């Protein structure tokens, strides 16, 4: 039955900088796919980083999308308004005994792995796996450490989380990964090690918020850049642990700069705002990113 219901798409930018051509491509593709399938197009504001995300950037973001001719079908969902939803999901994972508090700061992690050089394993994004040993400490001891040394993140004990009955996990890829992977993809969450599930300042991380929101918003097809292809392994694991529905995925090509590098929000000159101010039209933007109706 469910696969006959109109699909639900979403574009989920973070207002921590100005939108650029890469965001325009992702937003236009989601919007176009929703229109072609008589589906719904939703907007989600991923602002769990309350320090870097700012209201004026959010307003600018909405303005840029409107300028491109994109319309969304419901009030945008702002993640910072929904920390309770993520706290509930976190509590469910904690009740399974697969979450532990991790106390090492970034610089402590760097120092701990230094002697290992390049032999220290990294995740698919190139971030070193967590070297702390809290995962193996008895719960009473980590509980005591939490009261003594307040500041900590919460990490998923990947070994326990991937326990046999859940595996193998897979997803339907309707686009393609960075190496052309398509069709039914086997998830490899273990490649990510003990991912952060809640940051020190919020009851969530990107991975947790994204799966909770995709489920709450009824998203059926996640259309996003290839840079998030490998994260889907973590998302499938969390969806399974939290008994959330499984969307289909469509990872799309990334827009690159003249040197073939991924666009970055820190490069102001390629922002949609700068281009509009330089006299470019929405059609010019579409042409520049090879977006054909």
Q: And the tokens for 41?
A: 């197009």
User: Which residue number, 157 or 255, has a Cβ lying nearer to ligand GLU?
Assistant: 255
Least distance (Å) between residue 208 CB and ligand GLU? 12
User: Which residue number, 14 or 239, has a Cβ lying nearer to ligand GLU?
Assistant: 14
The CB density around residue 225, as the number of other CB atoms within 10 Å, is 19
Backbone angles phi, psi at 200, to 5 degrees: -70, -25
Least distance (Å) between residue 14 CB and ligand GLU? 4
Interacting residues with ligand GLU (CB under 6 A): 12-14, 46, 210, 224, 228
* DSSP 8-state code for residue 115: G
User: Which residue number, 101 or 220, has a Cβ lying nearer to ligand GLU?
Assistant: 220
Residues 6+ apart with CB under 8 A from 193: 121, 123, 129, 130, 158
Least distance (Å) between residue 47 CB and ligand GLU? 9
Least distance (Å) between residue 2 CB and ligand GLU? 21
Least distance (Å) between residue 174 CB and ligand GLU? 15
Least distance (Å) between residue 198 CB and ligand GLU? 17
Residues 6+ apart with CB under 8 A from 44: 10, 11, 12, 76, 77, 78, 79, 213, 217
User: Which residue number, 19 or 135, has a Cβ lying nearer to ligand GLU?
Assistant: 19
CA atoms within 13 A of residue 253's CA, in its CB half-sphere: 9
User: Which residue number, 57 or 134, has a Cβ lying nearer to ligand GLU?
Assistant: 57
User: Which residue number, 100 or 229, has a Cβ lying nearer to ligand GLU?
Assistant: 229
User: Which residue number, 181 or 227, has a Cβ lying nearer to ligand GLU?
Assistant: 227
Q: And the tokens for 56?
A: 């004026």
Backbone angles phi, psi at 127, to 5 degrees: -90, 135
Q: What radius of gyration do the chain's Cα atoms show?
A: 20
- Locus of tokens 């491109």: 68
Least distance (Å) between residue 210 CB and ligand GLU? 5
Task: Identify the three-state secondary structure at position 127.
Answer: coil
User: Which residue number, 46 or 173, has a Cβ lying nearer to ligand GLU?
Assistant: 46
Task: Identify the three-state secondary structure at position 164.
Answer: helix
Helix intervals (H) in the chain: 21-36, 55-67, 83-95, 106-113, 139-148, 158-161, 206-216, 231-241, 272-277, 282-288
Least distance (Å) between residue 284 CB and ligand GLU? 23
């Amino acid at each position: 039955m469910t696969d006959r219901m109109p699909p639900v798409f979403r574009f989920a930018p973070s207002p921590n900088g100005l939108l650029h051509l890469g965001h325009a491509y992702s937003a236009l593709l989601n919007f176009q796919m929703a229109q072609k399938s008589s589906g719904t197009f939703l907007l989600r504001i991923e602002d769990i980083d309350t320090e870097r995300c700012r209201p004026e950037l959010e307003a600018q973001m909405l303005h840029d999308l409107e300028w491109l001719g994109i319309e969304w079908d419901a009030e945008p969902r702002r993640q910072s308004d929904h920390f309770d939803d993520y706290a509930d999901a976190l509590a469910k994972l904690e009740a399974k005994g697969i979450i532990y508090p991790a106390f090492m700061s970034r610089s402590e992690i760097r120092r701990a792995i230094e002697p290992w050089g390049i032999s220290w394993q990294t995740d698919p994004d190139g971030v070193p796996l967590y070297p702390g040993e809290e995962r193996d400490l008895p719960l009473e001891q980590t509980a005591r450490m939490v009261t003594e040394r307040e500041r900590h993140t919460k990490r998923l004990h990947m070994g326990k989380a991937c326990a046999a009955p859940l595996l193998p996990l897979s997803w339907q890829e309707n686009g393609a990964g960075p190496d052309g992977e398509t069709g039914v993809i086997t998830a490899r969450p273990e490649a990510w090690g003990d991912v952060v599930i809640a940051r020190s300042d919020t009851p969530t991380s990107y991975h947790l918020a994204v799966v909770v929101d995709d489920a709450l918003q009824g998203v059926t097809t996640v259309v996003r850049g290839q840079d998030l292809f490998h994260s889907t392994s973590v998302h499938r694991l969390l969806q399974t642990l939290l008994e959330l529905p499984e969307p289909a995925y469509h990872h799309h090509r990334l827009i690159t700069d003249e040197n073939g590098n991924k666009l970055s929000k820190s490069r102001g000159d390629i922002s949609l705002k700068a281009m509009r101010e330089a006299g470019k039209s929405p059609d010019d933007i579409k042409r520049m990113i090879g977006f054909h109706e």
